Amino acid sequence: SDYQQLGYNLRSNVFQGGPLKTRSLMKDSYTPDKIQKVVRDPNNWHGRKIYELGRWYEKYFLDLNVQKAMGEKYG
């Protein structure tokens, strides 16, 4: 049965789970001195200013609210 099959797989350690140690692409790609020298600018996030992201989210949620209201009114 399925239950016995599942029990066998669990006892056999077929489902081993995820890795015990996670790895980062940044840590694998750069040397430790490069990572330590990086300067993080909280006002510039991936080339975008924080207030630009805020404006985008405002427009996005306004659009979602309009779509929701239109759906409730007109079905």
Q: Please say if the pLDDT value at position 7 is more than 70.
A: yes
Are 14 and 6 in contact by the 8 Å Cβ rule? The answer is no
Of 44, 45, 26, 46, nearest in space to 36 by CA: 26
Q: What's the domain range around 26?
A: 1-74
Domains in the chain, number = 1
Tens of pLDDT, residues 14-64: 666 666 677 777 777 777 777 677 777 777 766 666 677 788 888 999 999
The residue with greater pLDDT, 32 or 74, is 74
pLDDT of residue 71: 92
The residue with greater pLDDT, 1 or 70, is 70
The residue with greater pLDDT, 1 or 19, is 1
pTM of the model: 0.36
Q: How far apart are CA 58 and CA 5, in angstroms?
A: 51
